[in-house]
Copies of this chain bind each other. A is one copy, B any other.
Amino acid sequence: MGHTERHVLTDDARRKLTQVSTATITTQLLRLGFRRTFMAGIVPLSPDQRMVGYAFTLRYVPAREDVAVDAHYDNDRNVQRLAVEAVGPEDVLVIDARSDVSAASFGHIIATRIRERGAAGLVTDGALRDTAGIARLKLPTYYRAAHATTSAVAHHPVDMNVPIGCAGVLVMPGDVLVGDADGVAVIPNAHAEAIAHASLAQEELEAFLTEKVAAGAGIRGVYPPSDDVLREYEAQRRDRPA
């Protein structure tokens, strides 16, 4: 898999990714051949929020009595705690909890900490506890279910910043995660800049087409657009004041 150079989004691309939907992003990724880029069954804690950030991964394995107990609250050795203090601005902490929702995979106080460190979001394919408290943090958060039980009952954190599976999708450290009301899309880091531009372009065209449909046009010749409609769109764009 190798450790390839991480690309940093331009401000323009980053801004565009906060505007476009995960539906558009996955369509653009499909055009590049990427088929599995959306986390299945993961819902937003607050559907009105948007999330854009770089994946900072955290891997859990099942808890076992000989590994979980002594290290769990040790901020020097517990990998979850090390990750919390390593997450940086614009990072999204994304947890591979093996889709196990029999206990939480993150709690309220450490969620507060990553928000203070500037994290752009929190994603887990497991459960969260104290979801009301986490919602008050205004940190974009995506999860599978609520479960009040503390993570150590089911999970043991073991690695950070390694490739993980999350909700059926590969997440490499540095991949760009975008979240909206549908859930979370994963953009391979090397493609994120281009996907941002292509996605906004698609959405601008679709806004034009949707307006036609909302005004009564049939989809024939409009969606997908005919050459005539595309010319009309281009003309309209040219005439728009900058």
Q: Which residues of A contact B (CB under 8 A)?
A: 1, 21-23, 25-27, 30, 32-38, 40-41, 43, 47, 60-67, 71, 73, 75-76, 81, 84-85, 98, 100-102, 104, 107-110, 112-113, 116, 129-133, 145-150, 153, 156, 158-159, 162-165, 168-170, 172, 180-183, 185, 188, 190-191, 206, 209-210, 213-214, 216, 218-221, 223-224
Contacts and interface: CB of A to CB of B under 8 A. Distances in A.
Contacts of A32: 65
Contacts of A181: 131-132, 146
Contact of A26 (B22, B26, B108, B150): B150
A169 B62 contact: yes
A85 B218 contact: yes
Nearest to A60: B165
A33 B65 contact: yes
B170 A156 contact: yes
B108 A23 contact: yes
Count chain B CB atoms within 10 A of each CB in A23, A170, A190, A191 and give the residue with the most: A23
11 contacts: A22-B148, A26-B149, A34-B66, A36-B62, A38-B147, A43-B146, A61-B165, A62-B170, A109-B213, A113-B219, A158-B162
A36 B23 contact: no
Contact of A34 (B30, B65, B213, B221): B65
| Top-5 shortest CB links A-B | A22-B148, A23-B129, A146-B182, A23-B130, A132-B181
B85 A41 contact: no
Nearest to A71: B1
B116 A214 contact: yes
A216 B113 CA distance: 8
B64 A36 contact: yes
A35 B153 contact: yes
Contacts of A183: 146-148
A64 B66 CA distance: 22
B206 A109 contact: yes
B26 A81 contact: no
Nearest to A221: B75
Given A67-B170, A112-B213, 16 more contacts: A22-B129, A22-B148, A23-B104, A26-B129, A30-B150, A36-B62, A36-B63, A63-B170, A66-B190, A66-B191, A76-B220, A109-B209, A109-B223, A112-B210, A113-B223, A159-B162
